[in-house]
Amino acid sequence: MDKLVSLTIDSRKHGLNGSSNAKGLEYRKERFFDADENVGVLLLLEPESVYTNGRRNIGKVTEKEKKAFLDAGSKYYEIKRGGEITYHGPGQLVAYPILDLKKLGLGVRDFVNALETGVSDTCHSFGIDTCTYGEFPGVWASETRKIAATGTHIQKYVTSHGIALNCTTDLQRFDSIVPCGLHGKTATSLYSECLIKRDKFNKDLLDPINVSKTLLPCLSATFNAQIVPLNSLSPSLDSFINNFINTLN
């Protein structure tokens, strides 16, 4: 079985946003694949408050809208992933795989399916039924409520960006945009869906760091890869990433 290396980052301590900072974490991607059995690295993080805009929508956000994001305490970035504008922030779990699809023997659609299936299985573990729609990327709790947004970029068989699962996210942050350019659709979260099924639910159970412990084995199954901690396979790369993170403080 192939090995997929994982690194879970508590960005509440380090202020990572999953966009501009991730560029630094992609430094010398070839180092992620320095052993034949290693197929890549999976970064897991809870981002700070940020709006990111994908390739299809770059240049369409006005300066007034950008200023409104900043005034509300959020940053704004235009990035390489597919899709349109969305929100990332506290209470959200971002899975950012940097994988060699050639080594995994996966096509682009296979990769996206595996990513979304892993998140769907995670939601099911918390009692939330989800589905996917071919024409609408992401994972959905209903035909109109999206619980996880997918956006990827692939260059020379190597992936970047990934999927963002709303755990306890402030959903009001989506009100000022049309998430992913889908009119008539709304964002939801694990916590919101749990409250639909029951009057009370312990919100702490859905902390992104806690949810990541369920997501890891689900992704291990869908990618048919053994997920191991980064420091056990590549101490030098683990040291590089942690040193990079420390420079952000």
Task: Tell me the pLDDT tens digit for each residue of 91-146.
Answer: 999 998 988 898 888 999 999 999 999 999 999 999 999 999 877 889 999 999 99
Is 213 a domain residue?
yes
Is 249 a domain residue?
no
Is 126 a domain residue?
yes
pLDDT at 40: 80
- 């940097």: which residue's tokens? 98
CATH number of the domain where residue 116 is located: 3.30.930.10
pLDDT level of residue 33 (50, 70, 90 thresholds): low
Q: What is the pLDDT of residues 214-247, one digit of tens each?
A: 999 999 999 988 888 877 767 777 777 777 666 6
Which structural domain range is residue 228 located in?
Answer: 2-242
Give me the active site residues, please.
180
Number of folded domains in the chain?
1
pLDDT at 156: 87
Per the CB < 8 A criterion, the answer to whether 203 and 168 are in contact is yes
Query: DSSP characters for 182-197?
Result: -TT-EE--HHHHHHHH
Is 248 a domain residue?
no
Is 247 a domain residue?
no
pLDDT level of residue 65 (50, 70, 90 thresholds): confident
Residues 6+ apart with CB under 8 A from 200: none
pLDDT at 120: 97
pLDDT at 160: 86
